Amino acid sequence: MTFDLTTLPPSDRYKLLASLVTPRPIAWVTTVGSEGVVNAAPFSFFNVFGSNPPIVTFAPGNKDKHTPKDTARNIRETGEFVIHLIGEDLAQAMVNTSATLPHGESELAGLNLTTAPSKKISVPRIIEAPVALECTQHTTLEIGSNRLIIGVVHLIHAKDGLINEDLQLDPSLYHPIGRMASPDRYCRSSDQFEISSLD
Ligand SMILES: Cc1cc2nc3c(=O)[nH]c(=O)nc-3n(C[C@H](O)[C@H](O)[C@H](O)COP(=O)(O)O)c2cc1C
């Protein structure tokens, strides 16, 4: 089968690409709006793109044609955000924060999660998450109706024991989930294998 994306409507292009380009890591992002409310939402159009400087990119779309999602709006106002990486234990809470709420209402309310101040930015982090990246906005690119937020990572929080003194991750303790076919499918990363490289 072939699919010519120039003739397909954007919703069908999304269905195909979001189902095929998988598994995708999930950025669970906190931001703060001008009212001081902590906003949380997941984004799977997300990855790390370099270490010098250390950059990450994710892509929050619009609520409707003219209104950016709250995450994008808050980052435009403050330039700061925290990206959390999570395992299956927080998957339901993460999905619950994808609800569309009026601007200024926190998705974290009633979720039994705890926030704590970050060290380098004013946006708080969710302490239950095994990893949190304190970020500032570098650039936001608007390409058609896509919005790519490029962030610089300033500080990494990792749960005690996850990473040793040689900066090696303990793979038995870190099992982030991935996003599979949209809208509802996810995968576990607990079944891993090794392949040695030739050099
Ligand atoms: C696992 C998952 C991944 C998502 N990835 C994206 C994404 O990459 N881009 C996007 O615009 N929305 C994505 N969404 C939907 C947003 O999380 C949702 O629109 C949310 O309400 C945005 O919240 P906000 O308005 O507080 O920013 C995703 C939802 C889930 C459950």
Q: What percent of the chain has pLDDT over 90?
A: 88
Counting atoms of ligand 1 from 1, which one is nearest the CA of 45? 8
Instruction: Dump pLDDT digits (tens) for 7-25.
Output: 999 999 999 999 999 999 9
Which residues line ligand 1 at a C-beta cut-off of 6 Å? 26, 39, 41-45, 59-61, 69-71, 95, 98, 100, 179
Does 64 fall in a domain? yes
Does 7 fall in a domain? no
Q: Kindly report the protein residue whose alpha carbon is nearest to atom 7 of ligand 1.
A: 43
Q: Is the pLDDT of residue 104 over 90?
A: no
Instruction: Dump pLDDT digits (tens) for 150-183.
Output: 999 999 999 999 999 999 999 999 999 999 998 8
Does 198 fall in a domain? no
Q: If you measure from the C-alpha of residue 155 to the centroid of ligand 1, how many angstroms do you get, rounded to a whole number?
A: 24
Q: How many domains does the chain have?
A: 1
Give the domain extent around 138: 22-178
Give ∠ CA 79-81-83 in degrees, rounded to 5. Answer: 150
Q: Is the pLDDT of residue 65 over 90?
A: no
The predicted structure's pLDDT at residue 91: 97
Which position has the token pair 């990494």?
156
Does 190 fall in a domain? no
Does 84 fall in a domain? yes
Q: Is residue 152 within a helix (H) or strand (E), and if so which, with residue range?
A: strand 146-158
DSSP 62: E
Does 159 fall in a domain? yes
Q: If you measure from the C-alpha of residue 60 to the centroid of ligand 1, how many angstroms do you get, rounded to a whole number?
A: 7
Q: Is the pLDDT of residue 66 over 90?
A: no
CATH number, position 61: 2.30.110.10
Model confidence, pTM: 0.97
Does 183 fall in a domain? no
Does 186 fall in a domain? no
Q: Tell which one of 26, 38, 44, 97 to mutate to probe ligand 1, the residue whose CB is within 8 A of the most ligand atoms.
A: 44
Tokens linked to 170: 């303990």
Q: How far apart are CA 185 and CA 125, in angstroms?
A: 26
Q: Is the pLDDT of residue 40 over 90?
A: yes
Residue 48's DSSP bridge partners are 56
Question: Is the separation of the CB atoms in 55 and 153 below 8 Å?
Answer: yes
